[in-house]
């Protein structure tokens, strides 16, 4: 606010698990498209990553992203980023306030249309996705995220699901219930009955109508730091 007092700040979330760049990438991918072009998105997750932490400015779909070089961008967008520039490179020790002040100055220059001081950056770190594992019995999916309703978001998109399932019968086991169809809405099934659906970000999620799928599966949101080690199988 000291640098750009007339701007509008929207706080998307303070609930990302510590150092969980996969969770942050999912939230970014889910949220950015709902903002107007020209919006500047600041990602404050794991900013001290690496021996010489770097701050990057990326552009995609008319949006700007100020983000640490820690693998978060490729996790969110894969290689579909239009332009990446180097904003700053820090030497340890440095403080969170140092990073934030550099970000604020960068925002001030972006708003003023002054990007000439930035240099292209092509050495971005890669992020490690929870991988899909297709085999004779089905598809093992990683768990991307658990939202505040206890919906369990898997790392398979609708496009991937359609390509891998190919209209064959499928089954997802949730305790003693088998999910065999993709629902459109939560209330397509009775209360407290499991379902799967594709959410607004395009990922398959396991949910319960008016209840928590995460609680039923014993992987509550408080355990989100361990999500990289959780999988669910789509049986074919």
29's tokens: 């991918």
Question: Which residues have a Cβ under 8 Å from the Cβ of 37 and sit 6 or more positions away?
Answer: 61, 62, 63
Asked whether 76 and 43 are in contact (CB, 8 A), the reply is no
How many angstroms separate the CA atoms of 53 and 109, rounded?
Answer: 21
Same fold, 21-120 and 133-235: no
Which of 67-76, 179-188, 209-218, 225-234 shows the lowest mean pLDDT across its residues?
225-234
Q: How confident is the model at residue 227 (pLDDT cuts 50, 70, 90)?
A: very low
% of the chain with per-residue pLDDT over 70: 94
Query: What pLDDT, on a 0 to 100 scale, did the predictor assign at position 119?
Result: 87
Strands (E), 76-220: 83-89, 119-120, 133-135, 138-146, 152-157, 172-174, 177-179, 194-198, 203-208
Distance of CA 69 to the CA centre of its chain: 15
Domain spanning 133-235, CATH class: mainly beta
Query: What pLDDT, on a 0 to 100 scale, did the predictor assign at position 80?
Result: 84
- Domain ranges in the chain? 21-120, 133-235
List, for residues 178-223, the tens digit of each pLDDT value.
999 999 999 999 999 999 999 999 999 999 999 999 999 888 654 4
Q: Which of 204, 187, 67, 189 is nearest to 145 (CA)?
A: 204
Domain spanning 21-120, CATH class: alpha beta
Q: Residue 20 to residues 15, 26, 75, 100: CA-CA distances in angstroms?
A: 10, 10, 11, 19
User: pLDDT at residue 58 above 90?
Assistant: yes
% of the chain with per-residue pLDDT over 90: 65
Q: What is the mean pLDDT of residues 10-18?
A: 87
User: pLDDT at residue 164 above 70?
Assistant: yes
């Amino acid at each position: 606010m000291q640098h750009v007092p007339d701007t509008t700040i929207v706080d998307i979330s303070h609930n990302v698990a510590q150092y969980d760049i996969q969770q942050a990438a999912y939230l970014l991918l889910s949220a950015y498209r709902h903002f107007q072009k020209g919006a500047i998105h600041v990602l404050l997750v794991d900013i001290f990553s690496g021996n010489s932490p770097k701050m990057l400015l990326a552009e995609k779909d008319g949006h700007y992203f100020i983000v640490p070089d820690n693998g978060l961008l490729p996790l969110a967008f894969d290689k579909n980023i239009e332009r990446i520039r180097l904003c700053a490179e820090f030497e340890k020790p440095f403080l969170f306030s140092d990073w934030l002040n550099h970000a604020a100055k960068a925002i001030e220059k972006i708003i003023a249309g002054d990007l000439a001081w930035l240099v292209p950056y092509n050495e971005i770190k890669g992020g490690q996705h929870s991988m899909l594992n297709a085999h004779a019995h089905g598809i093992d999916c990683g768990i991307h995220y658990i939202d505040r309703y206890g919906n369990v978001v898997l790392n398979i998109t609708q496009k991937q699901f359609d390509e891998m399932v190919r209209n064959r019968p499928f089954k997802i086991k949730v305790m003693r219930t088998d999910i065999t169809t993709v629902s459109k809405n939560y209330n397509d099934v009775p209360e407290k009955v499991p379902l799967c659906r594709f959410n607004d970000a395009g990922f398959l999620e396991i949910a319960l109508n008016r209840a928590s799928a995460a609680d039923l599966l014993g992987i509550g949101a408080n355990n989100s730091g361990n999500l990289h080690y959780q999988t669910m199988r789509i049986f074919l």
